[in-house]
Chains A and B, each alone.
Chain A
Amino acid sequence: MGQTITQKILARNAGRDRVAPGENIWIDVDTLMTHDVCGPPTIGIFKREFGEDAKVWDPDKLVILPDHYIFTEDPHARRNIDILRDFAAQHDLPHYYDVGTSRYKGVCHVALAEEGFNRPGTVLFGTDSHSCTSGAFGMFSTGVGNTDAALIMGTGKIWVKVPETLRFVFEGTLPPWLMAKDLILSVIGDVGFEGGTYCALEFDGQAVFDLSMEERMTLTNMAIEAGGKNGVIAADEKTFEHVRARTDRPFDPVWSDPDAAWLQERVYDVSNMEPVVAKPHRPDNRATVSEVAGTKLDRAYIGSCTGGKLEDFEAAAKILQGEEVRIDTFVVPASTEVTRQMHERTLNGKTLWQVFVDAGCKMGHASCGACLGGPIDTFGRTQGTEVVISTTNRNFPGRMGSKQSAVYLASPLTVAASAVQGTITDPRTVLA
């Protein structure tokens, strides 16, 4: 019996030839990532367990990317960034990206890809559930809590249960009105909010390999919304090109064996799929856009690790150019690099940034923004009974701030089309 990508990577980092689903194993970690929300408590536990003057197991493997509560006056949030800064100085950490400096990046999952920390065949743990995003690079990556992160920080090791794999195969050619967000919302709608619990979600098929790395990241990002432990896409030439342009570090990719065992396999023909949303208040509460078209909206939001990448804005700009939004529309680039590119890339002679400004959007700074609500003064945070359509990844009650607000999740194309109309709008009606 063959092994999946996930099994092979875990086996290698456990120093074994093979591992079976269900086994609990100890593995070596190649990269540990943390941020301003979970970094300070992780550091606190690390010091408690290993000592005030204990050394990080390998400073070159620790990446600290403040990104959550950055543009806020909240004194506790600001104090938390001071804790990261002091810790980075104390340990002379090479991969700390400080707020208020030219090194500041923005959302960790996007920055990890930009800075070359995502490398095929490696193991990454992050103190953030969307750490599964990095699996788009043919690697094992998952989210953990502060305690597990502190254990890694001190030892470089962690225990994991080897997951079963669910395989999703996308065949056919993606029509221009569909994006990776439509595919993953369809998957989550099909398997359910907990349908992938404890499992690896592997995405395969020609339509997946036709996607850019950014779009692949949208697929793996939301593996957690089906309960998945990790999302993974095999590395190909596009992956190698992306990685080699950003790092000289070596990597050793692996691929699933043809006779690997899948717990379940689903095959989709993307040419027959439709734009979809997740209705409030669950990511698996799927409906086709045409089913909910006309729903009145108060606000649109384009941003986050899953919906604030350069290509997300390129897609939205195609619809927003020359138009004016009818509802408050918040634009929050995932990273400072995305912001920079939005000022450089042009569409019919205008920069992407200018397209959004001219359409009447409210422009924010690179960060997690209002994707998870955050402190009261967070840009774009809901404060009342707003009905929002958003490119983000979660729509739980209160997720974007107010418990009374309601959030629809959708692709950047659908969000842009809806922002122009003020109601949920099928992008096919404006992309014709």
Chain B
Amino acid sequence: MDDIIQGKAYVLGDSIDTDQIIPAAHLVYSMTVPDERKQYGRYALSGLPTDQQGLPEGNLPFTPDDMFESEYRIVIAGSNFGCGSSREHAPFSLMVAGAKAVVAQSYARIFYRNAVDGGFIIPFESRLRLVDHIRTGDEIRIDVRAGLLTHVEAGEEWLLNPLGDIADILKAGNVFEYARQAGFMK
């Protein structure tokens, strides 16, 4: 788990479902074979309607056409992020594209769990609706241990909710390491 995450923000609305995060047609690709794996970076968030791609302006693809990595490191979203299917390919695709964290008001259960158990990205929760305070492209820094999000240019700071129980799994790296430490796995 990184201590500091810094980079450009990509801002989204509410109830971004997993079909928008990674459309089902792309789930055929292997998540391990390198030539196929990189497709998940290419198609991450490609299911967003164009006017919802990077708020408030829109029309800002997360990953540019025919590229495999995004310039954005932190996804800022409203409530119920990752609702819909159980596809682990959703947090995985954000990670492959280069994202390190999502900061949302709330998450759908399975997405949250997948993000943590697979160790793909850190799903932070914010009580405040940061979507109204941050624009796509703004430079953001997260102090992971302190749970503090800083808008670099404006100097504004917001406290994120404590990670709670999941911090142990994130620190271990993924659920397997956590299970080994808990004695459920050799």
Contacts and interface: CB of A to CB of B under 8 A. Distances in A.
A272 to B, nearest CB: 29
A259 B142 CA distance: 45
A388 to B, nearest CB: 15
B99 to A, nearest CB: 17
Given A77-B28, A129-B84, A403-B49, A145 B110 contact: yes
A392 B179 CA distance: 37
B88 A146 contact: yes
Interface stretch (B13-21, B64-72, B144-152): B13-21
B30 to A, nearest CB: 7
Nearest to B174: A147
Interface stretch (A149-157, A208-216, A240-248, A334-342): A149-157
Contacts of A159: 175
A193 B20 contact: no
Contact of A282 (B15, B48, B109): B15
B63 interface: no
A74 B29 CA distance: 11
A399 interface: yes
B106 A143 contact: no
Interface in B85-108: 85-89, 106-108
Contact of B25 (A24, A151, A376): A376
B84 A396 contact: yes
A77 B182 CA distance: 37
A194 interface: yes
Contacts of B107: 197
Contacts of A198: 109
Interface string A373-399: 111100000000000000000101111
A394 B24 CA distance: 13
Nearest to B166: A24
A37 interface: yes
Interface string B163-186: 001000000001110010010110
B162 to A, nearest CB: 15
Contacts of B17: 394, 396, 399
Contacts of A69: 28
A76 interface: yes
B23 A26 contact: no
A187 B154 CA distance: 43
B148 to A, nearest CB: 26
Between A37, A157, A401, the greatest number of chain B beta carbons within 10 A of the residue's beta carbon is seen for A37
Interface stretch (A38-46, A89-97, A356-364): A38-46
A58 interface: no
Interface in A15-53: 24, 26, 37-38, 40-41, 44, 49
A204 interface: no
B175 A151 contact: yes
Contact of A193 (B31, B80, B109): B80
A229 B113 CA distance: 11
B175 to A, nearest CB: 6
Interface residues of A, number: 48
A373 B79 contact: no
B24 A397 contact: no
B117 A147 contact: yes
B47 interface: yes
B25 A145 contact: no
Contact of B86 (A74, A144, A374): A144
Between A74, A148, A157, A229, the greatest number of chain B beta carbons within 10 A of the residue's beta carbon is seen for A148
Contact of A155 (B84, B88, B89, B185): B185
A143 B110 contact: yes
A41 B28 contact: no
B7 interface: no
Contacts of B48: 397
A127 interface: yes
B128 interface: no
A-B CB proximity, top 7 nearest: A145-B88, A145-B114, A76-B28, A143-B86, A194-B80, A129-B86, A147-B118
Given A129-B84, A157-B179, A198-B109, 15 more contacts: A38-B88, A41-B32, A44-B30, A77-B28, A129-B86, A145-B118, A147-B88, A155-B185, A194-B83, A227-B109, A374-B25, A397-B47, A399-B17, A399-B19, A401-B25
Interface of A: 24, 26, 37-38, 40-41, 44, 49, 69, 74, 76-77, 80, 126-129, 131, 143-148, 151, 154-155, 157, 159, 193-194, 197-198, 227, 229, 282, 372-376, 394, 396-399, 401, 403
15 contacts: A26-B184, A41-B30, A76-B28, A77-B28, A128-B85, A129-B85, A144-B113, A144-B114, A146-B118, A151-B175, A194-B106, A227-B109, A394-B17, A397-B48, A398-B47
